[in-house]
Structure 1
Amino acid sequence: MRENLIFSGIPEQTPDDPDTNIKTFMAAHLNLSPDTINKITFHRVHRLGRPSNKGVVKSKGKELKGKPDEQEDLTFVKNYQPKEGATHLRILLHGPVGAGKSSFINSVDSVLQGRITDRALTDATSGSSFTKKYKTYKIHKGPDDFYSFVFNDTMGFEKDTNTGVLVEDVKLALKGHVEDGYKFSPSQELMEGDKGYRSAPTLDDKVHVLVCVLPVGSVSLISEEVVKKMREVRYAASDMGIPQLAILTKVDEACPKTNRNIKDAYKSKYLKQQVDAFSLLLGLPQSSIFLVKNYGSDGNMNDDNDVLILSALRKIITSGEDFLNDL
């Protein structure tokens, strides 16, 4: 496999299809047979320099418009493969009710598919957790294959007892003891021998990176009881060596400046204050806390929004991979 090949002197076409143009160039100037050319595949082909038109870079699923950071992060995500012994990287999301856990899964799926998706069901009106079951989400890379990471969504934490997911059940999920499809009970912990309990989890069943999700505008409003539950899960993950990160969602709703231009998310003094506050609240380093605007079913794709999502996703994956490499 060759990386970062550069061809020069290939005229621009209208519409411009760099993939086809390169194969035509190879047939005309490199004396390669049609059979040989047909066997050549490209991960991504794009034209360098200033385009004469809109300069849209074509790729499978998502179309990019030449943003270097976005292209680099997308390439990393598409090429990622976990260490030998694991078939995928497992990412567990946790947080309070209505934090945007399911919406973040949908947002990652949307970015990688190049269209708005809503596979993980969400609810904007319910005051209780909409997610009831422990479910694994795989993201399609093609018709017959998937990206090498999976998400697990959990029932949200709630202030009152007998509501929301139990901390002990989330700890069991970290260890791989919770089977896919298990329905959480706010009043009864999952025990060994129960239906939904996995007695002998494999490396693939276990969680490799833990991600806390919270609306950025709720940092100062979250109850002490919920914070205590999130801390307890974080401490359990630390004892297992599992890395932890955080996603602060709904940045557009919390900051008018960011709502006008999502690129200003990390320039906002207010959002920076919330990151600092959450860092102190949960004990996470600021470098492990990311600002994101999730996609909704009524929204449109936005490259600047994709940059935030892909940046967070890449850090999640690299943190999980570091954990796997240390095993």
Structure 2
Amino acid sequence: MGGGSSCPPCERPAPPDPYLSQPWRNVKDDYQENLAFVKSYEPRNQDVKHLRILLHGPVGSGKSSFFNSVDSALKGRVTGRAPTDAISGSSYTTKYKAYKIRKDDGSFYSVIFNDIMGFEQNTNTGVDVEDVKLAMRGHMPNGYQFNPVAQLQETDRDYISSPTLEDRVHVLIGVCPVDSVSLISDEVVKKMREVRLAAAELGIPQLAILTKVDEACPEAKEDINETYRIKYLKEQVDRFSMLLGLPLNCIFLVKNYSSEIETNDDINALILTALKQMINFGDDFLDDL
């Protein structure tokens, strides 16, 4: 009788390891230190009371949600002061809005966030680059209603003709969902680059926030503490750096508060790491002036 030969078991290659051997940035251990820093911060330049941070980026990037997340992290409860919309295909923010954050004692943090309309691919939709430049120089009033086909003019009633240092933007923050980095249109990249170059001429420091890490990556959704150890997220940071020319130490990964109804120290740690660097860069800018 002939003996049958057995088939060797199929050997499938192991799935690639999604993690780096070490995190490329440490955030959790500095959480309490960063929180204390933000709470005690006051500008060294006596000509200003508040550091002004301007958020800009594509439609749906999470600009308003990022402010809400900062507000939540500092207040210790989830807030929603900046209106957001999960399904709108156009910018839900239509006005130039300044947000202060109140402390428990009734005073305010020494940081103001300005939110603007998002960039869109088409020429006559979304915020116009020239309006962003005027905002950076301090000419745009709080509450200004954006009009993509009619930019702010010197003859407009509310135009700030002689802005003070307090009116001007001190830090420019680009915001983009981390899973959309490769999907940003050339037109939107061009607009963001133009704003970056204008900010550079004014000496304004620039950083970036890549949002929605939990939606982009199952490993981050499972454990947000692994954010800076996940290969895919680091690859997107590298790609965004190449797109806009920002150095890696100016790009931060965050998860905005979305489904949560209570704050979380691990989410806050990512947010406060980014916020501290914004404050440091902005304060250096003011100090140099």
Same fold (TM over 0.5): yes
| Residue 78 (structure 1) aligns with | 39
Taking the aligned partners of 2:176 and 2:160, their CA distance within structure 1 comes to 29
Q: Does 1:238 align with 2:200?
A: yes
Give the Å deviation of 1:296.
1.7
| Residue 249 (structure 1) aligns with | 211
| Residue 163 (structure 1) aligns with | 125
- Residues 116 and 296 in structure 1, CA contact (< 8 A), matched pair in contact too: no
Compute the RMSD of aligned alpha carbons: 1.0
SS of 2:176 mapped into structure 1 = strand
The equivalent position to 2:268 in structure 1, one of 306, 309, 325, is 306
Give the Å deviation of 1:298.
4.2
- Residues 180 and 196 in structure 1, CA contact (< 8 A), matched pair in contact too: no
Give the Å deviation of 1:303.
1.0
| Residue 186 (structure 1) aligns with | 148
Give the Å deviation of 1:142.
2.6
**Which aligned runs of 4 or more in structure 1 are off by greater than 2 angstroms?**
297-300
Taking the aligned partners of 1:152 and 1:196, their CA distance within structure 2 comes to 17
Post-superposition CA distance 1:83-133 (Å, at most 9, x none): 211111000000000000000000000011111000001000110000000
| Residue 56 (structure 1) aligns with | none
Q: Does 1:120 align with 2:82?
A: yes
Taking the aligned partners of 1:148 and 1:311, their CA distance within structure 2 comes to 17
Post-superposition CA distance 1:16-57 (Å, at most 9, x none): xxxxxxxxxxxxxxxxxxxxxxxxxxxxxxxxxxxxxxxxxx
Letter aligned with residue 314 of structure 1: K
Letter aligned with residue 72 of structure 2: S
State how 1:83-98 maps to structure 2 within 5 Å: 83=44, 84-98=46-60
Letter aligned with residue 130 of structure 1: Y
The equivalent position to 1:285 in structure 2, one of 247, 250, 254, is 247
- Residues 92 and 153 in structure 1, CA contact (< 8 A), matched pair in contact too: yes
Give the Å deviation of 1:217.
0.3
Give the Å deviation of 1:176.
0.1
Aligned length: 261
Q: Does 1:207 align with 2:169?
A: yes
Taking the aligned partners of 1:106 and 1:162, their CA distance within structure 2 comes to 28
SS of 2:182 mapped into structure 1 = coil
Structure 2: segments with no counterpart, 5+ residues: 1-27
| Residue 157 (structure 2) aligns with | 195
Give the Å deviation of 1:193.
1.5
Q: Does 1:317 align with 2:279?
A: yes
| Residue 21 (structure 1) aligns with | none
The equivalent position to 2:72 in structure 1, one of 85, 110, 121, is 110
Taking the aligned partners of 1:195 and 1:212, their CA distance within structure 2 comes to 29
SS of 1:121 mapped into structure 2 = coil
Give the TM-score, by structure 1 length. 0.78
Q: Does 1:133 align with 2:88?
A: no
Give the Å deviation of 1:178.
0.1
- Residues 118 and 297 in structure 1, CA contact (< 8 A), matched pair in contact too: no
Q: Does 1:69 align with 2:19?
A: no
Taking the aligned partners of 1:144 and 1:295, their CA distance within structure 2 comes to 24
Taking the aligned partners of 2:270 and 2:143, their CA distance within structure 1 comes to 30
Taking the aligned partners of 1:224 and 1:315, their CA distance within structure 2 comes to 28
What is the percent sequence identity of the aligned residues?
65
Give the Å deviation of 1:69.
1.1
- Residues 117 and 297 in structure 1, CA contact (< 8 A), matched pair in contact too: no
| Residue 136 (structure 2) aligns with | 174
Letter aligned with residue 143 of structure 2: G
Letter aligned with residue 74 of structure 1: L
Structure 1: segments with no counterpart, 5+ residues: 1-66
Give the Å deviation of 1:196.
3.0
Give the Å deviation of 1:317.
0.4
Taking the aligned partners of 1:311 and 1:150, their CA distance within structure 2 comes to 17
SS of 2:101 mapped into structure 1 = strand
Give the Å deviation of 1:297.
5.5
Taking the aligned partners of 1:175 and 1:228, their CA distance within structure 2 comes to 20
| Residue 272 (structure 1) aligns with | 234
- Residues 102 and 120 in structure 1, CA contact (< 8 A), matched pair in contact too: yes
